Amino acid sequence: MNISKLYISPLLIAAAIVVLLQAACCNGKPPEPVPPAGEIAFSFQHVVDDKPVMFDSMTYENAAGNPYMVNEIQYFLSDFTLWRGGKGLVLDKWEDIHYIDTDLPNTMLYNPADEIEEGTYDSITFVFGITEEKNRSFMFVNPPESYMFWPEHLGGGYHYMKLNGKWRDTNDVVQPFNFHLGIGQTYDDQGNITGFVQNYFTVHLRASSFKIVNGLTTKAVITMHVDEWFKDPNTFDFNYWGGHIMENQQAMRAAIENGHNVFSIKFE
């Protein structure tokens, strides 16, 4: 046979291609419908007495009567979870720890990558700090997150928060404070560390029901009420606790217990 004269009908070729494409693409089954979905985006702000923080200004007085100023606030929030019908959806499991720094505007936005099913959600929770399971030393290799390291001998991992500022003591002397929260320690009578205390906690945001609309982004603003760290149920007195609390579990526990009123949310 002369191969150069072999003829194959174009119609036969086209039919064969259609059959192959149908087999490869669909396997005889119709495609699954894509459920309607949207997104959620968070921004962060910081207030004292419900007004934006005035940094580096000795204009505030806490519940204990300590005049104070705020210089900077740096902290981690993690495991943002959307709740509906008793089931929780953890957002962006690949980037589930978000760093916020009042000196870095780009950290004031958190845009999870998740496509979220359309509908009404009951509430939002998140973890203040980082859970014991995830809070591992050296997981952040680049600044600014790497600057949040918590000393190994104090439990390792990372600070939950650095709230730095100054207060005026009873002698009218301005003193620095490092209101730092993270893993606590227990000590024996000789001052040796005998164990560690996990101080992270879950924030249940009040009035956090919201809707996801197909194709749209729901915008939420989370506010830290800085003055609430010093109020309820514990009146936090810098003259009593001093300006350095990261090795003082009692002081950190007093602060953590006040955390239930620190955050609020609103939707735009």
Write out pLDDT tens, residues 89-110: 999 887 899 999 999 999 999 9
Categorize the per-residue pLDDT at 29 as very low, low, confident or very high, splitting at 50, 70 and 90: low
Q: Does residue 221 sit within a domain?
A: yes
Q: What is the pLDDT of residue 28?
A: 58
Q: Does residue 105 sit within a domain?
A: yes
pTM of the full structure: 0.86
Q: Is 214 left (phi over 0), alpha (psi -120 to 50) or beta?
A: beta
More confident residue, 233 or 95: 233
Q: Is 94 left (phi over 0), alpha (psi -120 to 50) or beta?
A: alpha
Q: Does residue 170 sit within a domain?
A: yes
Q: What is the pLDDT of residue 35?
A: 83
Pick from 136, 91, 132: nearest CA to 110 = 91
Asked if pLDDT for residue 5 goes beyond 50, the answer is no
- Count of structural domains, the chain: 1
Q: Does residue 113 sit within a domain?
A: yes
Q: Does residue 9 sit within a domain?
A: no
Cβ contact 41:210 at 8 Å: no
Cβ contact 212:119 at 8 Å: yes
Q: Does residue 55 sit within a domain?
A: yes
Structure tokens at 12: 């036969």
Q: Which phi and psi (to 5°) does residue 257 adopt?
A: -65, -25
Q: Does residue 8 sit within a domain?
A: no
Categorize the per-residue pLDDT at 32 as very low, low, confident or very high, splitting at 50, 70 and 90: confident
E strand or H helix that includes residue 22: helix 10-25
Q: Mind listing the pLDDT tens digit for each residue in 34-52?
A: 789 999 999 999 999 999 9
Q: What is the pLDDT of residue 26?
A: 52
* Domain extent at residue 82: 38-267
Categorize the per-residue pLDDT at 27 as very low, low, confident or very high, splitting at 50, 70 and 90: low
Q: Mind listing the pLDDT tens digit for each residue in 241-266?
A: 999 999 999 999 999 999 999 999 99
